[in-house]
C-alpha cells in the first residue's frame, strides 16, 4: 500500500489542498489524515489565506473513503479510536476560519464525502457520485458528528437512502438538494473553483469566520454519545466479513452479528 500524500499550495490569498493517491482513487491512509491535520492547523493560523480549495488528484475521484486495508485487525475499541481520530481531523477542517471549497471529480465516498461536507461550498463534475455505501461494502458506521453533518447537508430521508439502501447520489440530485453549489465540466471545474474562491476572498473575513463558527456550533450542539453504536458495528462479525470480502474481491455474506 502506497502511503499517498497531501499537498498544500499557497498562492497569495488562496490555498489549494490536494489529496494525491490517484492509483487508489485518493483513498485516505493514516499518513494522509495526519498531513491534512497539519495543514489545517497551519492554515488556521495564517490570516493571509482568505479561501481554501480542496481537490483530489487524477481526475477520477475526490476521495474514495479511507483505505480499507487499514481495518484488517480492527475491533470495537479500535473502531471507537478511529472515529474519534477522523472526527478530530475533519473537525479541524470544518473549523477553519476562512471559506473552503471542495472540487469533486468522480467519487466522493465515505470519509471523502465527510471531508467534502465539512467544506463550505462544493462544485462537482456531472459524473460525480456521492455516498456512504457501507451497508453494501464494510458493515461499519459513522460517528455522531458525521451523521449530524450529513443530515444537515442532505436531509434525513435522503441520508437514509445513502446509509440503509447504500445508494450513491448523482450530481444533479446533489445540486437540487443544495449540497452542491454548482456543476461544471471537468475542464472548467478548476476555473470555476478559483473564481468562487476569489469572490469569497474579496469579502469581510471576520464576518465569514464568525458566521462559519456560529453555524458549526449550531450543527454540532449537544451531540449525543455514540461510542456504543460504533463499538457494536466495528466489533461485529459483519464488519470483519466486510473487510475480508473486500480484500478477497468477493461479495460479503452478512449474518447480522
Residues of the chain above pLDDT 70, percent? 100
Residue 243 in domain: no
Helices 144-154 and 111-118, axial angle in degrees (round to 10): 60
Question: Judging by beta carbons within 10 Å of its beta carbon (0-12, 13-18, 19+), is residue 78 exposed, middle or buried?
Answer: middle
Nearest Cα residue to 177 out of 156, 193, 201: 156
pLDDT of 91 reads 97
Residue 34 in domain: yes
Residue 249 in domain: no
What CA–CA distance (Å, rounded) separates 223 from 145? 7
**What tens digit of pLDDT does each residue of 28-61 get?**
999 999 999 999 999 999 999 999 999 999 999 9
**What tens digit of pLDDT does each residue of 208-246 get?**
999 999 999 999 999 999 999 999 999 999 999 999 999
Whole-number average pLDDT of the chain:
97
Residue 68 in domain: yes
Domain count of the fold of the chain: 1
Residue 77 in domain: yes
- pLDDT average, residue stretch 180-207: 98
Residue 196 in domain: no
Q: How confident is the model at residue 85 (pLDDT cuts 50, 70, 90)?
A: very high
- pLDDT average, residue stretch 185-205: 98
C-alpha cell at 205: 473575513
Q: Given a cut of 60, is residue 1 above it in pLDDT?
A: no
Residues of the chain above pLDDT 90, percent? 97
3-state class of 52 per DSSP? strand
Residue 139 to residues 121, 237, 243, Cα–Cα distance (Å) = 29, 9, 9
What CA–CA distance (Å, rounded) separates 52 from 131? 23
Residue 240 in domain: no
Q: Residue 81 maps to which CATH number?
A: 3.90.226.10
Q: Which residue has the cell 454519545?
A: 225
Q: How confident is the model at residue 201 (pLDDT cuts 50, 70, 90)?
A: very high
Residue 67 in domain: yes
Provide the residue range defining the domain that includes 173: 5-186
C-alpha cell at 207: 464576518
pLDDT of 2 reads 82
Amino acid at each position: 500500500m502506497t502511503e499517498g500524500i497531501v499537498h498544500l499550495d499557497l498562492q497569495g490569498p488562496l490555498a489549494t489542498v490536494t489529496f494525491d493517491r490517484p492509483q487508489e482513487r485518493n483513498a485516505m491512509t493514516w499518513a494522509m489524515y495526519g498531513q491534512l491535520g497539519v495543514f489545517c492547523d497551519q492554515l488556521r493560523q495564517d490570516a493571509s489565506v482568505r479561501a481554501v480549495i480542496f481537490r483530489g488528484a487524477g481526475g477520477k475521484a475526490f476521495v474514495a473513503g479511507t483505505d480499507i486495508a487499514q481495518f484488517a485487525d480492527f475491533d470495537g475499541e479500535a473502531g471507537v479510536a478511529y472515529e474519534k481520530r477522523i472526527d478530530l481531523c475533519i473537525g479541524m477542517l470544518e473549523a477553519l476560519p476562512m471559506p473552503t471549497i471542495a472540487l469533486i471529480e468522480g467519487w466522493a465516498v465515505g470519509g471523502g464525502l465527510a471531508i467534502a461536507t465539512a467544506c463550505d461550498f462544493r462544485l462537482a463534475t456531472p459524473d460525480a457520485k456521492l455516498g456512504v455505501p457501507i451497508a453494501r461494502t464494510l458493515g461499519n458506521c459513522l460517528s455522531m458528528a458525521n451523521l449530524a453533518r450529513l443530515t444537515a447537508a442532505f436531509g434525513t430521508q435522503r441520508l437514509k437512502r445513502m446509509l440503509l439502501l447504500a445508494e450513491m447520489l448523482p450530481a444533479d440530485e446533489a445540486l437540487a438538494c443544495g449540497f452542491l453549489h454548482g456543476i461544471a465540466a471537468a475542464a472548467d471545474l478548476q476555473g470555476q473553483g478559483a473564481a468562487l474562491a476569489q469572490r469569497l476572498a474579496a469579502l469581510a473575513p471576520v464576518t465569514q469566520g464568525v458566521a462559519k463558527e456560529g453555524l458549526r456550533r449550531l450543527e454540532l450542539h449537544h451531540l449525543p454519545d455514540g461510542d456504543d453504536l460504533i463499538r457494536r458495528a466495528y466489533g461485529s462479525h459483519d464488519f470483519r466479513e466486510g473487510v475480508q470480502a473486500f480484500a478477497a474481491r468477493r461479495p460479503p455474506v452478512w449474518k447480522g452479528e
